[in-house]
Amino acid sequence: MNNTVVEIRNLVKHFPVKTGVIMGRTIGNVKAVDDISFGVSQGETFALVGESGCGKTTVANLILKLLDPTSGDILFQGKSLDRASGSEIRQYRKSVQAVLQDPYGALNPRMRVGHIVGEPLEVHGYGRSERTRLVRDALRSVGLPETSDSQFPHEFSGGQRQRIGVARALTLEPSLIVLDEPVSNLDVSIRSQVLNLLKDVQDQRGISFILISHDLASVEHMSHRIGVMYLGKLVELGGAEQICDDPAHPYSASLVAASTPPGRTPPWQIPIVGEVPSAMETPSGCAFHPRCIYAMPVCSQVAPSLTKLPDGRQVSCHLYPDHIGSIDKSASLPGLEFTTSTIGDGGPEVRPVE
Amino acid sequence: MAKYQHNGAGPILEVRDLRTHFMTRQGLVRAVNGVSFELEKGETLGLVGESGSGKTITCLSILRLLPRGGQVVGGEIILEGQDILKTSEDEMGRLRGKKVGMILQNSMAALDPVFSIGTQIAEPLVAHQGLPWKRALAGAIDLLRMVKINDPEVRVRNYPHELSGGMRQRSSSAASIGPHPDVLIADEPTTALDVTTQRQYLDLLKELQKATGMAIIFITHDISIVGNLCDKLAVFYGGLVVEYGSKDQVLNNPSHPYTKALLKALPILGEKRERLQTIPGEPPHAGNLPPACPFHPRCEQAMDNCKEGDAPPIFDLGYGHQARCWLLEKDDEQYSR
């Protein structure tokens, strides 16, 4: 891949689970991120999707260097961060910024907007007059009046606060911004404003985005490539249109089916079964097999690995390459409308209590 | 005490021109300003709107559980022929939960962490049906089975923190449907759930409705998920129902500029849009509503009479489809109330 801004290689993050207050015996590991690799090119939006608990935010925190990986490496402009010097790490932190989910929690209520937006500049040693100028530039570029730098966060609405968050991420002219659910806390009628703003920013400045979201519709709209995560692993990695129009992995397919608006036929009619298991007790073999209606005996024994399909995307599933041909994706399976009968052994009978 | 009996004909719940205001230190907050809708037995009505549009306050008015300072200042709420607003507090306590149940948005907050799931599901059965605790706990197991929870005999002794988010939401629903409410109010029950669990939960609600025949009021901010579940939709904006009609009327033939803009502003999976249409500005705060039509500052088609005087009246578009917008005046005969 050319012009790769950030590449992560075999990234692993385990959180030990401890018991006891004083001795803290480790009783297990939560494999939040388990051997994940992908790269983000210049000007590209790479989206990580998955249910809550799948590890997508942990990946974001690792990329932001808020967490140190258990193993694996992050490459910034081709150089490993593992062996980077202090000044190189500083340079990396300057180049990678974040916009957070909650526009209310992300802004310190006691600081003026100018101070909030200018704080990254202060940290990186910019002088006062330059800071004022850059802060005003940033505010203008997100569609806020320059004079808002003397106001406090509470004077702004949710959408405007998220714009302040974007302005703060822009001041250091980063090459990558991590967007962690940037619109999910906003009102529906202003989500499109923020999504459009982010697209404009990307077009004008050629910034790369890593977009973390569970909303597949806005992910499809925003991103070029998508990585679908399930219990710490990537199960499918490919172009946004590829995955949304023709998902290859049964899990991606069920996410697409769940997000398909009523009245439309999902590309692969697949019901969603059960819930995400606890990350502490990851199922054997393919972690998705207890929820997969196509699970074969091999799925519970051998973990599949990401392999390339002829169309260029990667998928981690035992159905490939031999079994996928025998599946009729357009067959309407009983259970897509009423998935509940497949959730448990409660049986299909529903009766009110006497 | 007079016994009211619903004769089976006509709506089970009727809200007529409901107005609920709050007295706060910052002044009068006009949260609900003339909301009307009807709910038939077994029907699902979706209340769609952004935060502060008045949908939750409407439902809390129905339950008479308004927060401090809130007061219904006008209108009627008729439940099975009985005006709820004129009912005594004692009678209301008997109605609440039994006639009108509610499912809250955050199941972790709705369930008490120090009581087992079973106790919390059994409690309304004891309170409303006078069952002894032992039988109520057996009923709780049946209810857990009904909401498709595995091993209900084991789960009934679990505490809320031992369940996953989806299971908690299903358990708190079990507690709400236990006493067989005729009307179930579900206030954004899926917001805290993942897409996949969300779909399962909506299917479950539908199935429970089929089995019990209850009517559902489904509150949501996400117009894209109501399609599968709801028969009718009421679109809220600034404390008013700006558009009201069957699901098909509202989604396929939106008539109010706000509904139109909202449907265009959302990215839809499988539909490629180069650029999303935006609605300029922000939704208003109920304490600071624009005069006349609350949507006029954000409306591209706003005319002079949208900016002055009273809110636009309800225009009837035929077959029960209604919208509050002056643009519809020329097209259709005004229906005055």
pLDDT tens for A221-249 read 999 999 999 999 999 999 999 999 999 99
Residue A164 lies in a domain: yes
Mean residue pLDDT across chain A? 86
pLDDT(A109) > 90:
yes
For B107-148, the pLDDT digits (tens) are: 778 899 999 999 999 999 999 988 999 999 999 999 998 888
Q: Is the pLDDT of residue A346 over 50?
A: no
Domain-embedded: residue A235: no
pLDDT of residue B333 exceeding 60, the answer is no
Residue in B44, B48, B72 with CA at minimum distance from that of residue B220? B48
Residue A348 gets which letter from DSSP? S
Q: What pLDDT digit, counting tens, does each position of B73-83 carry?
A: 999 999 998 99
Cβ–Cβ below 8 Å for B276 and A215 = no
* Per-residue pLDDT at A1: 47
Distance CA A17, CA A31 (A): 10
How far CA B83 is from CA of B72, B224, B337, in Å, comes to 13, 33, 19
Together in a domain, A179 and A261: no
Share of chain B above pLDDT 70, in %: 95
Angle value at C-alpha B89, between B86 and B91, nearest 5 degrees? 80
Q: Is the pLDDT of residue B71 over 60?
A: yes
d(C-alpha B223, C-alpha B50), whole Å: 10
The Cα–Cα gap between B183 and B12 comes to 8
> What is the residue type of A46?
F
The answer to whether A224 and A45 are in contact (CB under 8 A) is yes
Search chain A and give the residue with CA nearest B162: A278
Taking contacts as CB-CB distances below 8 angstroms, the residues of chain B near A192 are: 265-267, 276-279
CA distance A145 to A135: 11
Same domain for A163 and A310, yes or no, is: no
Domain assignment of residue A242, yes or no: no
B150, B195, B261 member nearest A255 (Cβ): B195
Q: Do B194 and A52 touch (CB under 8 A)?
A: yes
Residue of chain B minimizing CA distance to A344 = B150
Q: Decide if A219 is inside a domain.
A: yes
Among A191, A272, A345, the residue with its CB nearest the CB of B196 is: A272
Chain segment A173-183, per-residue pLDDT in tens? 999 999 999 98
CA–CA separation, B54 and B74 (whole Å): 15
d(CA A352, CA B147): 11
- Whether residues A209 and A322 share a domain: the answer is no
Kindly state whether A263 is in contact with chain B, defined as any CB-CB distance less than 8 angstroms: yes
In the prediction, which pLDDT does A347 show? 30
For residue A261, give the nearest of B165, B224, B283 by CB distance. Answer: B224
A272 touches chain B (CB under 8 A): yes
Residue A144 and residue A281 in one domain: no
pLDDT at residue A281, rounded to an integer: 79
DSSP per residue over B154-206, as a string? HHTT--GGGS-HHHHHHHHHHHHHTT--SEEEEESTTTTS-HHHHHHHHHHHH
Give the closest residue to B71 by CA, choosing from B108, B112, B28.
B28
Q: Are residues A168 and A26 in the same domain?
A: yes
Whether the bond between A321 and the residue before it is cis, its omega within 30 degrees of 0, is: yes
Residues A25, A190 contacting (CB under 8 angstroms): no
Indicate if the alpha-carbon torsion angle A150, A153, A159, A162 is positive or negative.
Answer: positive
Helices B133-146, B165-177: inter-axial angle, 10-degree rounding: 130
Residues shown for chain B: 337
Which of A353, A343, A48, A284 lies closest to B121, judged by CA? A353
Q: In the structure, what pLDDT confidence band is assigned to residue A342 with cuts at 50, 70 and 90?
A: very low
Residue at A238 is within a domain = no
Closest CA to A255 of A55, A49, A53: A49
What's the pLDDT at B215?
95
A311 Cα to chain B: minimum distance (Å): 19
Single-letter amino acid code for the residue at B50 = E
Interface of B with A in 115-154 (CB under 8 A): 125, 139, 142-143, 145-146, 148-150, 152
Q: How does pLDDT run across A243-279, given as a tens digit for each residue?
A: 999 999 999 999 998 888 877 888 888 877 777 777 7
Say if residue A223 is in the same domain as residue A258.
Answer: no
Helices (H) and strands (E) in chain B, counts: 12, 12
Mean pLDDT for A144-172 is 91
**pLDDT-derived band of residue A210, with 50, 70 and 90 as boundaries?**
very high
A294 and A222 in one domain? Answer: no
Q: Identify whether A28 is part of a domain.
A: yes
Q: How many domains does chain A have?
A: 2
Residue A236 lies in a domain: no
CATH number, residue A132: 3.40.50.300
What is residue B9's predicted lDDT score, i.e. its pLDDT?
A: 64
Determine the average pLDDT of the residues in B269-275: 79
Q: Determine the pLDDT at residue B76.
A: 94
> Which pLDDT score is estimated for A316?
95
Residues A129 and A43 in one domain: yes
What residues of B are in contact with residue A157 (Cβ under 8 Å)? 282
CA distance B155 to B153: 6
Q: pLDDT-derived band of residue A26, with 50, 70 and 90 as boundaries?
A: confident
Question: What is the reported pLDDT for A332?
Answer: 63
Residues in B touching A189 (Cβ below 8 Å):
50, 261-262, 265, 279, 282-283, 298
Same domain, A37 and A119: yes
Is the pLDDT confidence value at A45 over 60? yes
Both A152 and A92 in one domain: the answer is yes
pLDDT at A190: 87
Q: Domain range holding A50?
A: 4-228
Same domain, A63 and A190: yes
Q: Is the predicted pLDDT of residue B189 greater than 90, yes or no?
A: no
Same structural domain, A174 and A27: yes
Given this model, what pLDDT does residue B198 score?
A: 83
Residue to mutate among A157, A164, A188, with most B CBs inside 10 A, is: A188
Contacts of A339 in chain B (CB under 8 A): 199-200, 203
Residue B288 near chain A (CB below 8 Å): no
Measured distance CA(A283)–CA(A277) in Å, rounded: 8
**DSSP 3-state of A15:** strand
pLDDT tens string B3-21: 444 555 679 999 999 999 9
Nearest to residue A37, comparing CAs of A84, A83, A4?
A: A4
Residues B144-173 have pLDDT tens digits of: 988 888 889 989 999 998 888 888 888 999
pLDDT band for position A343 (cuts 50, 70, 90): very low
pLDDT at A131: 94
pLDDT tens per residue, range B206-248 = 988 998 899 999 999 888 778 778 999 999 999 999 999 999 9
Q: Is A71 on the interface with B (CB under 8 A)?
A: no
pLDDT greater than 80 at residue A74: yes
Q: At what angle do helices A128-141 and A158-170 cross, to 10 degrees?
A: 130
- Considering only the beta carbons, identify the residue of B212, B265, B282 that sits closest to A157: B282
**Does residue A234 lie in a domain region?**
no
Strand ranges (E), A107-200:
176-180
Residue B250 pLDDT exceeds 80: yes
In this model, does residue A337 exceed pLDDT 80? no
B269 and A244: CB-CB below 8 Å? yes
Residue B276 is predicted with a pLDDT of 85
Average pLDDT over residues A155-170: 91
